[in-house]
Chains A and B, each alone.
Chain A
């Protein structure tokens, strides 16, 4: 696993995520959010999980980012106002990051390099989804249908 590629993707992802969290304009933040997910998908490609990376690109950049942009446009009248920034949240997030990093770097059993691995083909993923994981797969299908119906009911016009 190339460490130069890792460094480039890491800086790209963290910078885009920071921009998504701190930019004052909501639309800029939504586009930075999509760019951050490009970085996460690149991590998945680097780790050899190409199918999950592609699914992430399709779902997050193709669907969720578009959904967020549509929501921003539908609630536009409210967007223009200047927003406050709560610095308590920054302190909590910094403390969480410090604690996590400290415990990760202290655990010596995590300082390992990737073992050799046979390529993960889509055929293997499909076979696992249709045999071992067929019950969770059906549950996820039911959950997505319920979420679709629920989202539609939530945005129906209110009766006066």
Chain B
């Protein structure tokens, strides 16, 4: 009995849904960033799983896409956390419900 591709995809779907839960239902800006990072990790897991279970190519396409996706996610995390600090300096809060200056 070995793990099939479906098992990996279900775990990846669970990770994505948990990331969505964190991004939608928490009011703290850092929680939203954590949720987005978790959804990106679920996408990376899908890339690697499809690469492993699919026909083998030369070069390894799935691994390459996952590597570039990790790099882009790291850049996104750095800029996002810098924005959290800038918003906190300006408004003295990181609660996204209180950042409603642009509300009509």
Contacts and interface: CB of A to CB of B under 8 A. Distances in A.
Contacts of A3: 1-3, 7
A93 B24 contact: yes
A154 B82 CA distance: 6
A104 B82 contact: no
B25 A78 contact: no
Contact of B22 (A20, A152, A154): A20
Contact of B82 (A55, A84, A120, A150): A150
B27 A110 contact: no
Given A68-B81, A78-B88, A104 B9 contact: yes
Interface in B52-104: 52-53, 55-56, 58-60, 62-64, 66-68, 70-79, 81-86, 88-90, 92-95
Interface of A is mostly: helix
B15 A55 contact: no
Interface size class of A (residues with CB under 8 A): 35 or more
A129 to B, nearest CB: 7
Nearest to A141: B71
A144 B58 CA distance: 27
B96 to A, nearest CB: 11
A129 B4 contact: no
Name the prevailing secondary structure of the B interface residues: helix
B21 A90 contact: yes
B17 A96 contact: yes
Interface string A114-145: 11011010001101110111001000100110
A128 B59 contact: yes
Interface of A: 1-3, 6, 10, 13-14, 17-18, 20-22, 26, 29-30, 33, 36-37, 40, 43-44, 47-49, 51-52, 55-56, 59-60, 63-64, 67-68, 70-72, 74-75, 77-78, 81, 83-90, 92-94, 96-97, 100-101, 104-105, 107, 110-115, 117-118, 120, 124-125, 127-129, 131-133, 136, 140, 143-144, 146-148, 150-152, 154-155, 158
Given A33-B38, A97-B16, A133-B64, 6 more contacts: A29-B34, A33-B37, A44-B45, A92-B20, A96-B17, A158-B89
